[in-house]
Structure 1
């Protein structure tokens, strides 16, 4: 009898445990686990679980060594635990060019879904390399290039040439920490073009070539040329100034022509002598006029 009771209790315990385990896995697991990797930046994606409530997600990773020798050891990326987003940046988890396993679990309160693994495991060699943007500039007749920053894991190969002479293309290697670099001295009046290829050092893989960009180098006036230009402008203004001066003289002559002053007016003290004669003649004219008038009145009328 005691044995039978023990057996019944054991069965009940097993049922309870299995029931609780079944309840725990009622929450659906995330589906369509995928890795999007561009320029050595890795993002794990999955589809959201469509149930009522605030579902969160947790991610675990496992390297190739752990997968072979410690299959029960999984790492939990700090920024990928109980997050509401449907993706997570796992770049820091991928530190070697080997296979990595990733799995995702959905969480709702006390409910946990089963783990859903990424298939197949991820190798960073599959990352997609997109060529960087490039900006070609001329500064003080220095040809310089600015490249989009891809981080320390990259090197850049810049190919540049004078437009029309691509068969004389030159190449310069630039490290990822220096995205602004000098290429060569530019020649005035020439046009230069450039393109770049990104090289991912950890996986020894190159991107395709970027778009070709070109820049025109403007001609600058040096000091000697500037002085010559100024001298030429002054020479051009001299005839104009002479013509204006000559025109002014001609206009003034026509409006008030020059006449020679009589010699008599050039004698010294001529102005005082002219005034003296004027007053003496005026007095005489008064006397003549008064005498004539008196005599005319005394004559008898006929």
Structure 2
């Protein structure tokens, strides 16, 4: 009898708990949770809910690294830029800041209704990012070879390989950090052809594929370039000297009648003529003398 009552109470409690869980998690959890990581940019994506909602469905994301799992007793951390967002993706690039395995989960919210969490499977490690080839632009200025790089992750470097086309065995490798982006190689052999390739390299030695070889020729300055610059400077100096001489000669040899023609005195406007006459009258009028009278003080007799 007691055993039957115990089973009855247990069943009732389970039904109440099941009903409570159903009320709380009445929204379906997001599905198709996946991570897209290219060039150290990590974006979590999921499929939007198809359940009708009288307001905008919002999503929240949490992550758990080895530190949270081992040191913080399995706690989860909110992704700051991915709390109650209406998007179906979340940029976790700055949240996943170590080379550890991360558990990541997302849930949906419609008004006050919450879904259960959907976890990413398997765990994610940023070392699994896909590296693409850097964009390379090669230009020549005189005997200087300039290599410009683009699309480098901030935590990566580029290995730039340069060789003379007829001597590939003597290739040189240069390391270019992401913040530099430009490599200059001066004093190259004129008339020779140089080739350049580049690849992206992470601190974990993970590498992208190499770019195709970009080959350019180091051409010597033509004969017109040799004389063009000094000739331009000389012509400019002579022109400025001629202009200064002409101005000085004109000032020295200018006759009074001609100078008067070039430098005529403009007449004052009619409204200012009276003001000028008044100022002249004031300046030419004699100063008024100050009249002083002597005052005699007579002392009074005391009783």
Which TM-score bucket, shorter chain as reference? 0.5 to 0.7
SS in 1 for 2:32: strand
CA shift for structure 1 position 111: 0.9
Partner of 2:3: none
Partner of 1:85: 87
SS in 2 for 1:60: strand
> In 1, are the aligned partners of 2:143 and 2:220 still within 8 Å (CA)?
no
Q: Which runs of 5+ in 2 are unaligned?
A: 1-10, 229-303
Mapping of residues 141-180 of structure 1, within 5 Å: 141-180=143-182
CA shift for structure 1 position 183: 2.2
> In 2, are the aligned partners of 1:151 and 1:177 still within 8 Å (CA)?
no
SS in 1 for 2:94: helix
Task: Give, in whole Å, the separation in 1 of the partners of 2:216 and 2:47.
Answer: 46
Partner of 2:138: 136
TM-score by length of structure 1 reads 0.65
Deviations 1:143-167 (Å, cap 9, x if unpaired)?
Answer: 0100114243111111112234323
Partner of 1:207: 208
Segment drifting more, 15-24 vs 150-159: 15-24
CA gap of 1:165–1:73, structure 2 versus 1, over 3 A, is same
| 1:35 and 2:35 matched | yes
> In 1, are the aligned partners of 2:134 and 2:149 still within 8 Å (CA)?
yes
Task: Give, in whole Å, the separation in 2 of the partners of 1:119 and 1:225.
Answer: 67
Partner of 1:254: none
Structure (1/2) with the larger helix percentage: 1
Partner of 2:52: 52
Partner of 2:19: 19
Mapping of residues 4-15 of structure 1, within 5 Å: none
Task: Give, in whole Å, the separation in 2 of the partners of 1:84 and 1:187.
Answer: 59
Q: Which has the larger radius of gyration?
A: 1
> In 2, are the aligned partners of 1:138 and 1:186 still within 8 Å (CA)?
no
> In 1, are the aligned partners of 2:44 and 2:91 still within 8 Å (CA)?
yes
Task: Give, in whole Å, the separation in 2 of the partners of 1:169 and 1:87.
Answer: 44
CA shift for structure 1 position 170: 1.7
Task: Give, in whole Å, the separation in 1 of the partners of 2:212 and 2:66.
Answer: 38
CA shift for structure 1 position 195: 0.4
Deviations 1:169-204 (Å, cap 9, x if unpaired)?
Answer: 221111221001212323333332200121111x23
CA shift for structure 1 position 18: 5.0
Partner of 1:114: 116
Segment drifting more, 152-161 vs 64-73: 64-73
SS in 1 for 2:108: strand
Task: Give, in whole Å, the separation in 2 of the partners of 1:224 and 1:176.
Answer: 36
Partner of 1:191: 193
SS in 2 for 1:204: coil
CA gap of 1:145–1:14, structure 2 versus 1, over 3 A, is same
Mapping of residues 61-76 of structure 1, within 5 Å: 61-76=63-78
CA shift for structure 1 position 16: 6.5
> In 2, are the aligned partners of 1:24 and 1:110 still within 8 Å (CA)?
no
Partner of 1:217: 218
Task: Give, in whole Å, the separation in 1 of the partners of 2:45 and 2:26.
Answer: 22
Q: How many matched pairs?
A: 220
Segment drifting more, 183-192 vs 61-70: 183-192
> In 2, are the aligned partners of 1:61 and 1:77 still within 8 Å (CA)?
yes
Task: Give, in whole Å, the separation in 1 of the partners of 2:199 and 2:15.
Answer: 63
CA shift for structure 1 position 225: 7.1
Segment drifting more, 180-189 vs 22-31: 180-189
Task: Give, in whole Å, the separation in 2 of the partners of 1:120 and 1:225.
Answer: 66
Q: CA RMSD in A?
A: 2.9
